[in-house]
Amino acid sequence: MPRSKGSRPDGYWWHCPQCGMFIRFCSLLAVQLAAQAGGCQGCRVRAILKGNPALIAACLDFWAETDAWPQSPSWMEAIPITA
């Protein structure tokens, strides 16, 4: 199957400076946007949820309904541990 000009079968890999994970993107633009934001989706969500824990349930509902979870699991660090 021929590939379109400029496409890469494995995408573009980027190293998140906050969590250390390698994230795969489908375009260079997505890599540039993540680099400008300073972290992957998981790290950005973690910062938001730590600042406003009331959003945790809404985010979980949204991600479950859309099946669009953050790229890395680092966001889970914002969920409080209860015994």
pLDDT per position as a tens digit, 48-82? 999 998 999 999 999 999 999 998 999 999 988 87
Q: Is the dihedral of CA 44, 46, 51, 55 positive or negative?
A: positive
What pLDDT score does 42 carry?
93
With a cut of 90, say whether residue 46 has pLDDT above it. yes
Nearest in space to 43 (alpha carbons), one of 81, 23, 72:
72
- Split at pLDDT 50, 70, 90, the class of 31 is very high
H/E segment holding residue 58: helix 56-66
